Structure 1
Amino acid sequence: MASGMRSPITSHVLDAQRGQPAQGVRVELKRENPSTQSWDFVSTDTTNKDGRAVALLPPGSQVEPGLYVMRFYTQAYFTELDQKSFYPFVEVHFCVDQPSDHYHIPLLLSSHSYTTYRGS
């Protein structure tokens, strides 16, 4: 998929415990407002059957430089699976310094651990 045809910020959540995509995880995106030292809501999305959050921003739009946080509502996901979760949510902070780049934030998840990295 061409970078101009997708959201400039996306995510992919994989449930390592179950060995499959994590469908139905709510993902919230916020941007730091340096003048107020607070977080401004940008958007929210829910992972699809492939575990992907692909509609956080309009396809082809350019993201503003700055500090962002992506919050994954993991406890709600595990509650739906009738499992306990140690983390009620996971927050991943990241810097956008190249507005024309694509920022992909994968999350590898289990009920008691997680890891993330900058994907492509």
Structure 2
Amino acid sequence: MMTAESSPLSTHVLNTSDGVPGAKMALSLHHLDSKLMIWSMIGVGITNEEGRCPDLISQEAFTPGMYKLRFETGSYWESLGQVSIYPYVEVVFTIRDPSQKFHLPLLMSRFSYSTYRGS
């Protein structure tokens, strides 16, 4: 099992409506085949009690290219007995230098979301 230090990509989900981490949210990581223009799933995960999912990909598998993180936000809100207009959120990003660490947080409410590259 990877440690947070060995994974070059991490995420952190924050439920800004309630001011709590987005715990127990399913997510998946995908890589785009630039020749076929097809997304391939690399892995899946579930955020921990802190809303983090640090072990998304190994350094060896993290190559230059286009990736996306898909967050299953609809299921998350349903598990809280709430409804969201977003059944899922996909964050698409490009990796040019895989030797760097990438942290992509998702800040969300039932009616909005934002993301940024953190450190």
Question: 1:21 maps to what in 2?
Answer: 21
Equivalent pair of 1:6/1:54 in contact (CA under 8 Å)? no
Q: TM-score, normalised by structure 2?
A: 0.93
Gap change, CA 1:118 and 1:31, over 3 Å in 2: same
Structure 1, unmatched stretches of 5+, are: none
User: 1:51-110: per-residue Cα shift (whole Å, max 9, x none)?
Assistant: 00111113x546100000100000000000000011000000001000101111100010
Alignment map for 1:103-118 (pairs within 5 Å): 103-118=102-117
Structure 2, unmatched stretches of 5+, are: none
Question: 1:10 maps to what in 2?
Answer: 10
Amino acid of the structure 2 residue aligned with 1:7: S
Amino acid of the structure 1 residue aligned with 2:114: T
Question: 2:43 maps to what in 1?
Answer: 43
Distance, in Å, in 2 between the alignment partners of 1:100 and 1:47 is: 24
Distance, in Å, in 2 between the alignment partners of 1:42 and 1:25 is: 17
Aligned CA RMSD, in angstroms, stands at 1.6
Amino acid of the structure 2 residue aligned with 1:68: Y
Give aligned-pair identity as a percent: 38
Distance, in Å, in 2 between the alignment partners of 1:52 and 1:25 is: 9
Distance, in Å, in 2 between the alignment partners of 1:79 and 1:65 is: 35
Amino acid of the structure 2 residue aligned with 1:51: G
User: 1:9-42: per-residue Cα shift (whole Å, max 9, x none)?
Assistant: 1100000011010101111100000121100111
